[in-house]
Structure 1
Amino acid sequence: MWERWTHRREEVLQSDLLASWYATRRRRRALAGAGLAGLAMIWAGTVVSWNLAPSDTAMWVTISLLAVSVLTTIPVVSALNVATRGTTSLAESRLDERQVAERLRAFTVAHRVMLAVLVAVVAGVLAADTDHVPMAAVVVGVVALFETHMLLPVLVAGWRLPDPPPDDEDDEEEAP
């Protein structure tokens, strides 16, 4: 059953599902930006929980931000996974050498960005003038850290992916 699932995932990642969403580098970067906006919504929910919890306003705003984040992030990550042909999601044994190199670069950049995020979070928490941290803010913050850690590699890979080389047919038509 596991092999069948893996084979099906590979087929989907090799298909041209929603190709118009990621056909050009500009569109892939727009998708990556939409993914970052989805992550920013979760972080905004953390800030709302930190400042307003415990309250109904904090709860509803945080839930709304999380719902909108999920609704925007799932199609974005799916399209970027197909665009990168599963570079960040497939097992390394299923990738060719070029994809493995792209994967390593994406993970390296993502880990550096994640380090900056962690430093910013620690600095923000230490700079906060409060004796009490709402548990809701801690939970939403952990969810935000987890989502950021999981999604950054595919967002970076989608951002960095170059346009494919032009087809040879176009060159042949232009030749005299």
Structure 2
Amino acid sequence: MTDGRKAPWRISQAEAVQMDILPGWYATRGRRRLLAATGAFSLGLAWAMAGVVWVAGPDEGARWIVLTLLAVMLVIYLPAVTLMNVATRGMTALTERNLDERQVGERLRATAVAHRLMTRLLAALACLTLVVGLLRGREHMVPGSTLLYLSLAVALTHFVLPLIVSCWRMPDPPPDDEDEDERSSSAGGGAAGAPGIGA
């Protein structure tokens, strides 16, 4: 019964990622990498919010800075994640039975790279927390609001990083046979026509 309730959502999700929404934004590898960098930038804004709260504390000015960063992050994050899901055809969002063997393999590789990146990021965060604690003394406490924003940044990064990696790594499809035939025929026609022009 649970599978029956989830089936319509999974079907609509699988159909949504097959739609070509703004294909010019992810048509080439360079544009997909720019899209992935945009998604990473939006995650950076989430980490920046946590940093502002940590440094400035519960200040009225800091609150407005955080709200501004949050608004900018959402404006960038939501379209970027949507387009990356469409560009990768739901490689990290769909269940394995909705993917072919190549997509499953690519998702496993993207997840492994994202896991290594996430481990390094958490290690850097732990080192930063340790250094700040040593500099400010044993009495230094991390505010609860900072922990809340850090948890949000970590959760978003953990959730989206495999998608960013898969979008960054995704190669351009090989050229179609028809395109190759047209190129070879046009090249052959040009070569054949050259002597006539010279004559």
TM over 0.5: yes
Q: 1:132 deviation in Å? A: 2.4
Determine whether 1:72 maps to 2:81: no
SS of the residue corresponding to residue 93 of structure 2 reads coil
Q: 1:78 deviation in Å? A: 0.7
Determine whether 1:111 maps to 2:115: yes
Q: 1:115 deviation in Å? A: 0.3
- Aligned mate of 1:139, from 118, 133, 148: 148
Give CA deviations for 1:112-166 in whole Å, capped at 9, x if unaligned: 0000110010011110033122211111001000000001000000000000111
- Aligned mate of 1:58, from 59, 62, 81: 62
Question: Which residue is 1:6 aligned to?
Answer: 10
Give the number of the structure whose alpha-carbon radius of gyration is greater.
2
- Report the residue type matching 1:79 in the other structure: L
Moved over 2 A (4+): none
SS of the residue corresponding to residue 2 of structure 1 reads helix
Unaligned 5+ segments in structure 2 are: 189-199
| Structure 2 CA distance for aligned equivalents of residues 173 and 54 of structure 1 | 65
Give CA deviations for 1:78-102 in whole Å, capped at 9, x if unaligned: 1111111111000112111100000
Q: Could you state the TM-score of these two structures normalised by the residue count of structure 1?
A: 0.96
Q: 1:8 deviation in Å? A: 1.4
SS of the residue corresponding to residue 17 of structure 2 reads helix
Aligned-residue identity in percent: 44
Determine whether 1:157 maps to 2:166: yes
SS of the residue corresponding to residue 172 of structure 2 reads coil
| Structure 2 CA distance for aligned equivalents of residues 168 and 20 of structure 1 | 22
| Structure 2 CA distance for aligned equivalents of residues 127 and 63 of structure 1 | 28
Unaligned 5+ segments in structure 1 are: none
RMSD: 1.1
Question: Which residue is 2:179 aligned to?
Answer: 170
Q: Could you state the TM-score of these two structures normalised by the residue count of structure 2?
A: 0.85
How many residue pairs get matched?
176
